[in-house]
């Protein structure tokens, strides 16, 4: 009986170890990253400007925002100081950013815009901001304003105008950017 037990133990150990062991795989050579020429943009990349409260900005020709540090060259009149207020004829709607939509951000961006007598915008001042790029999109939309200048004593004059851009998820498209 003792021999049978020893044979059984020996056979179990022999069969348990009888499977072929996998030879250790030769280490695969690590691929070296190929030097790919990076695409060079035609213009140097500019950093994204984050619009802050009580700061002035101007849109540039390439669609970016320029932070203005100097005071306005032209002192604009307030709405009560003119005979005929500036009339906004076209006010484009800003787009919701993908990040703001995902984060569920809503709010109102309030901007003060200096409308010049010659029909151009001088600067845009942020009065109330909303995060996730919504303030910057509101400024870009304000850059596309079309307006008739204010009048005082029969002459066209510059005027500060307050514009509010509401951002509501209920009004944004779920298929938008």
> Domains in the chain and their CATH numbers?
56-171 (3.30.2420.10)
- Overall pTM surpassing 0.75 (yes/no): no
The three-class DSSP label of residue 8 is helix
Q: Hey, what are 169's tokens? A: 């998820």
Rounded Cα distance between 12 and 104, Å, is 64
Q: Residue 42: is it exposed, middle or buried by C-beta count within 10 angstroms (0-12/13-18/19+)?
A: exposed
Tell the residue number behind the tokens 């509010």, with chain if given.
Answer: 164
Q: pLDDT digit of tens for each residue in the chain (177 aa)?
A: 777 777 767 666 666 655 556 566 666 666 666 665 555 444 444 445 678 888 888 888 887 888 888 888 778 898 899 999 999 999 999 999 999 999 999 999 999 999 999 999 989 999 999 999 999 999 999 999 999 999 999 999 999 999 999 999 886 665 555
Q: Residue 96: is it exposed, middle or buried by C-beta count within 10 angstroms (0-12/13-18/19+)?
A: buried
């Amino acid at each position: 009986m003792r021999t049978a037990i020893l044979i059984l133990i020996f056979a179990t150990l022999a069969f348990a170890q009888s499977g072929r062991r996998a030879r250790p795989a030769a280490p695969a050579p690590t691929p070296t990253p190929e030097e790919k020429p990076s695409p060079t943009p035609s213009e140097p990349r500019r950093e994204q400007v984050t619009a802050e409260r009580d700061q002035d900005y101007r849109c540039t020709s390439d669609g970016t925002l320029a932070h203005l540090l100097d005071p306005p060259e032209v002192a604009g009149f307030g709405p009560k100081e003119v005979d005929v207020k500036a009339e906004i004829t076209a006010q484009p709607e800003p787009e919701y950013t993908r990040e703001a939509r995902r984060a569920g951000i809503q709010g109102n961006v309030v901007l003060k815009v200096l409308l010049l007598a010659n029909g151009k915008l001088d600067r845009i001042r942020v009065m109330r901001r909303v995060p996730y790029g919504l303030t910057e999109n509101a400024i870009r939309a304000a850059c596309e304003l079309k307006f008739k200048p204010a009048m005082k004593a029969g002459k066209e004059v510059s005027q500060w105008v307050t514009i509010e851009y509401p951002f509501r998820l209920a009004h944004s498209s779920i298929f938008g950017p």
